[in-house]
Structure 1
Amino acid sequence: MSARCLHAALVLGLTLGTAACATSSETAGPAPKPQTQQADGSSIERAVVIHEDDTRRGIAAENRWIQTNLPGCRKTGQALLQHNGGIYDQIRLRCANGQTRAVYFDIRHFFGKIDGRPLM
């Protein structure tokens, strides 16, 4: 390969490599959530999604989840939260061992609905 061809190939390679780096950094979005992340209710980001279309059934599903996953805990408070366009219940609990904790539920499917229809 002549020196001229080698120089052209080197320039082309560097140009393409630089362009590829610039393109990837400009188009990179937020890092995807890890696949191992579980909806365990320990934070708003890991909120348990309730798949009901009715407020009463949704609340009953929250209570069942608490009884099944956190036996011996009872509700001591509740807050309605908005975060990143979503709507969440934060349920505060006191457990049999005296510990307190909060559990988060994603309630977008049932909040303000009766049989799938908005209340208003």
Structure 2
Amino acid sequence: MRKILILLAITLTMASCSTTNKLSNNAPSPENTTISSGRDGSSFEKAIVITEKSESKGVGAEYEWLRKNYPGYKSQGQSLTYDQKKPYDIIDIITSDGEAKSIYFDISNFFGKF
């Protein structure tokens, strides 16, 4: 399991360098995402919905969203989990202000699709 997580982390890092993000119509654009919008990534219920259809583009979209919404952040780790049989990535970051955050991404549109 540890080897899979390491491989996933490497793949995520590589893929994030050259892809763009797409968010679902019911999720606000990255520039307009605020806590009041309902999709700030702070929980499963408020997870950022990624609409990409392949893993490489989907992972890149996650990191693009983070770059746009938390410039200067530092990644602290990532985990794959399920809530109500739906896959989510949770990316732990430290913001440029030093605040620790866990950002939830709904990856059901691309998870397991290459």
Normalised TM-score (structure 1): 0.62
Cα displacement string for residues 73-111 of structure 1 (whole angstroms, at most 9, x for unaligned residues): 121100111001211000000112211110000000000
Larger Rg: 1 or 2?
A: 1
Deviant stretches of 4+, over 6 Å: none
AA partner of residue 113 (structure 2): K
Compute the RMSD of aligned alpha carbons: 1.2
* Matched residue count: 79
Structure 1 SS opposite 2:64: helix
Give the whole-Å Cα distance in 1 for the aligned partners of 2:83 and 2:38.
18
Q: Identify unmatched segments of 5+ residues in structure 1.
A: 1-35, 115-120
Tell me which protein shows more helix as a share of its residues. 1
1:37 deviation in Å? Answer: 5.6
Counterpart in the other structure of 1:43: 43
Counterpart in the other structure of 2:58: 58
Q: Identify unmatched segments of 5+ residues in structure 2.
A: 1-35
Q: Is the 8 A contact 2:49 2:106 kept in 1?
A: yes
Larger relative CO (CA 8 A, sep 6+): 1 or 2?
2
Structure 2 SS opposite 1:75: strand
1:42 deviation in Å? Answer: 0.9
- Identity, % of aligned positions: 39
